[in-house]
Amino acid sequence: MISSGQMRAARGFLAWSQGRLAEASGLSVQTIKRMEIKGTGTSTVANVQAVLNALQSAGCTFLPDDGNGVGVRAKGD
């Protein structure tokens, strides 16, 4: 599962607004805002997966915590 920090970082990386992510994921802007403020653990698995799919399709790869924290990078980097 991705964290709210990874969501914000990926949006920043892509220069996407919350509205753009909402459109790409098929969710509402309010849902994206809630996920980023309250964390993804309070969202349904389907909503987190929709966000993950949208961001991955746009070129983001999510890095799990390897002891140095989680991260985001461009595919192929």
User: Residue 54 is part of a domain; what is its CATH number?
Assistant: 1.10.260.40
pLDDT at 76: 55
What secondary structure, in 3-state letters, does the chain show? CCCHHHHHHHHHHHCCCHHHHHHHHCCCHHHHHHHHHHCHHHCCHHHHHHHHHHHHHCCEEEECCCCCCCEEEECCC
- Cα-Cα-Cα-Cα dihedral sign, residues 31, 7, 14, 77: negative
Average pLDDT over residues 7-32: 96
Report the half-sphere exposure of 60 (CA within 13 A, side-chain side): 24
At 1, the pLDDT band (50, 70, 90 cuts) reads confident
Domain count, the chain: 1
- Domain range for 43 is 4-74
- In this predicted model, what pLDDT tens digit does every residue of 29-76 receive, in sequence order? 999 999 999 999 999 999 999 999 999 999 999 988 888 878 888 775
